[in-house]
Amino acid sequence: MSAPNHIPLTRPTLDDATIQGVVEVLRSGWITSGPQVKAFEAALSAHCGGRPVRAFNSGTCTMEIALRIAGIGPGHEVITTPLTWVATSNVILAVGARPVFVDLDPATRNLDLGRVEAAITSATRAIMPVDLAGLPVDRDRLHALAKKHQLRVIEDAAQSFGSTWQGKPIGAFGDFVSFSFHPNKNITAIEGGALVLNDEPEAKLAEQYRLQGVVRTGLDGMECEIVGGKFNLTDVAARVGLGQLPHLVEFTERRRVLARAYLAKFEAAGASRLGLGLPLPNFTDANWHMFQVMLPEERLTVKRAAIMEQLQASGIGSGVHYPAIHLFKLYRKLGWKDGDFPHAEYAGRNILTLPLFPTMADADVPRVVDALMGIIRQNLKP
């Protein structure tokens, strides 16, 4: 159990009404996919401008299903970033296609769209960008590029639910959009995800993939036309999601307040002079899913793990989001190696996620900053 003064990396916020709502679902006798899932999908659709939305048990299967609906499989390539949770590229492998990594923009830490065109080949079928820490990839440039080359776009928006682009919610426009409602996300359904689709035929196909490829008709009719999976969301999880949605704006604004405080405190503490990299101060579009700094590797005598250990000893949680995917053993076997994507590799070694969640106290921010800056100063090269 954590000490009372421990600051965790993140913590979900569940109100009493949501907890009571879950109790009511449990008592109802209908706890798997049912009326709560349909209500959650309707609420998500309203958030996404009326587009069809289907709920699933994770934000991983949503990407795989989008790839399958788009007809992507063996012999095809999908362009994506090497700096994300490995699920993003794993689902490309799962459908038999090949992920093609493109290095990141060191300022945004997202896929560098300026490098994408050079990676497009006759086998390319889609682009799968990721909104790291909730900062949206440039949607205008992204979709213009996809249109030019007749590519599908599968937005890994797992981290950007509640973010916007030019005033429109992420999910309200574009092609496929995949969300995650894991407990560390801005709103949670315990576990879960959602896929925003373009039309009802795609939505119907998503429903087939969601539950073993089965289509039901009447009271006893059943047919199976495609290979699906077991990806349905439970009503228990959906009820949690329904309870979270009304708090989305409140949660987002609180995260922005904390992020502003972080940036101001870091600047006042001399972060720039020490070479500590700070995130872009975007308070219009980003939902501030995470607050990440970039350690100045070239100026330190220790590696990131030692700094995380010292933070932990000070009662402060931290995380790594993420190691560079192409350097995992699975991807090295497919031909990638050190030096292929320098910006992603530097971030993979040095990016550090600091505590950020709605119930975090104002006083926690200076405590985290002071602790980290003190550790860095103690471990600077002479």
Enzyme catalytic residues: 185
Gap between the Cα atoms of 143 and 26, Å rounded = 43
Dig out the tokens for 369 from the structure: 């900053």
145 alpha carbon, distance to own chain's centre: 22
Helix-helix angle 61-69:200-210, to 10 degrees: 130
In sequence order, the β-bridge partners of residue 130 are: 156
- Say how many CA atoms lie within 13 Å of 61 toward its Cβ: 24
Q: What order do you get walking across the sheet with 176-180 strand by strand?
A: 53-56, 193-196, 176-180, 152-156, 124-128, 77-80, 98-101
Amino acid at 299: R
| Alpha carbon separation from 332 to 92, 110, 336 (Å, rounded) | 16, 22, 5
103 alpha carbon, distance to own chain's centre: 18
153 three-state secondary structure: strand
Nearest to 302 by CA among 226, 211, 218, 379: 379
